[in-house]
Structures are given as C-alpha cells and as structure tokens.
Amino acid sequence: MGNLEKKMKRLVKNALYDFNMIQPGETVLLGVSWGKDSMFLGYILSEIRKEIKEKFEIRGVYIFKEFLIDCDIQFEEKRKYFEDVLGIPLERVNIQLPEDSKLNDGVGQSCQRCAYARRIAMMKLCQKYGATKICFGHHMDDIVVTTFMNMIQGRKLKIMPLVNKMSKGDVTFIRPMAYLREKDILKMVQKLEIPYSPCSCPVGETTMRNKIKKEIIWKNEEVLPDYVENIFWALVKDFKEKYESCGYSM
C-alpha cells in the first residue's frame, strides 16, 4: 500500500470518527453512480471494514435514471467488481416517478431534481434492509463548491453537511470522503485500476457546479495553494459549532 493510499484511508477513518458516522452492526447503503468517487468510496470502506473487529454491513445501490439518460454503463462489470472483489452486494433500482414529475418531460431536468429523486428511492430501500445510514461519495471539493453555489445562487451561507440526520425517520446521510481531495481520488482509482465510468450526463459539463469549480475554486487555488483546504476547514468548524449539539439534524 502506497503512502497516498495510507493517507487517504487515515483521513476517511478520521471523518468517520470525528462525526461518529457509522456504528458497529449498522447497515449502510452506498449510492453508486459509476463515477470515480462512489467507486473509490466502495473500495476504501471495504478496506476499512477488514481492519475492524465490530463490522458494519455495506450494500451498494445503483439508481437507474431511465427518465434522464441511459447511464447503465457496463453494469455487470461494476457489479462483479463490487461483489467479487469488494464483497459488497450491489442492487440495481429503477426510479419510479409520479406521472406529473418534471423529470419526465425533459424540461425540468436538473442536478437538484435528479439527486432528490435518487435520494427518495434510497430512503425507501432503507426500510427494506433496515438501514440507518445512506452514504455518498462527496469529497472536499464538492463541499466547497456546493457552499459557493448556495451563496451565489441561493443567497445563503449553507454547507453541504458531512452528516445530516433527517428530521423525520431514522435515516442519516453521511459523507466519509469529506476530508479527501478530488485530485487524489482520481490518482488512486487510476493506480488501483478501479473500474469507473466518466460522467455521461448531457448537462454535466455545463452546470453551474462545474463552472464554479473550474473557474473560481480551481483557478484561485493556482494562486493560493491552501485555498480549498482553508475554506473547507473554516466551514467544518462553523458546521460543528452550529449542529453538533443537536446531532447534526438540519
């Protein structure tokens, strides 16, 4: 195991510990999109699980977004990797949308609505498997970019929470890779030859998220090397101070 992988595993462990993300014996649903982030998250959690005595269960869930585009890229290859290599069962689920959903007509398709529909589907699966946690592959860059989006578009200072306990029901969203940088994740999936598929969403490259990430966040980082990390840790400190006392229920 190389130094970068050791460092990344340690950072994920730190995030799990700092925010008490996963308890022994819990069932965690892992949202799989085929992208590098969710594929690496499956790998790193499976490695961490090998090292602990009191295990937790991981179940991968691939939401088939038939209403948007055919994202079902090489499903069997990814399933075999999850089940045969990582020891994580992977389920393919087609979202069932109401007839009046804006995602059906092609006009109301957006990242926000797409993500909302997928999360509703996963929350329903929590009841099926007795899961209490839904795990996403968002990393440090995602969290900083989302905060900028909330300020620029929403006129509010709101972080993408590392832990978010839903006010209704016993489901918590967690982001164990919050301490990792996107560039390091890309290096590791390439080094470890983890199968993943680049984003094939037709609106993926033109979203405000990508514009902010590439034209503001990464551009500023060229001049200020600690730009992303400093903003992230300031946001995390504020987040902990505001929500730790109420169990990160937002």
Mind listing the pLDDT tens digit for each residue in 156-214?
989 999 999 987 778 999 999 999 999 999 999 999 999 988 766 656 566 788 889 99
Residue whose C-alpha is closest to residue 34's, from 190, 197, 186, 189: 197
Average pLDDT over residues 218-242: 95
Mind listing the pLDDT tens digit for each residue in 28-48?
999 998 889 999 999 999 999
**Max mean pLDDT range (9-18, 145-154, 200-209):** 9-18
- Give the pTM: 0.89
**Separation between Cα atoms, residue 107 and residue 211, nearest integer Å:** 21
Number of CB atoms found within 10 A of residue 48's CB: 16
Class of domain 3-246: alpha beta
Q: At what angle do helices 182-191 and 36-51 cross, to 10 degrees?
A: 80
- pLDDT (0 to 100) of residue 107: 45
At residue 200, what is the residue type?
A: S
Helix (H) or strand (E) holding 164: strand 163-165
Helix (H) or strand (E) holding 18: helix 3-18
- pLDDT (0 to 100) of residue 99: 60
Average pLDDT over residues 205-232: 90
- pLDDT (0 to 100) of residue 172: 95
Strand-pair partners of 58: 28
Helix (H) or strand (E) holding 147: helix 140-152
User: Starting at the edge strand that comes first in sequence, how are the strands of the sheet with 172-174 ordered?
Assistant: 90-94, 57-64, 27-32, 133-135, 172-174, 163-165
Question: Dihedrals φ, ψ of 173, to 5°?
Answer: -85, 135
Domain ranges of the chain: 3-246
Share of the chain above pLDDT 90, in %: 60
Which position has the higher pLDDT, 247 or 109? 247
Question: Dihedrals φ, ψ of 13, to 5°?
Answer: -60, -40
Place of tokens 């009046």: 100
- pLDDT (0 to 100) of residue 137: 95
- pLDDT (0 to 100) of residue 178: 98
Q: How confident is the model at residue 71 (pLDDT cuts 50, 70, 90)?
A: low
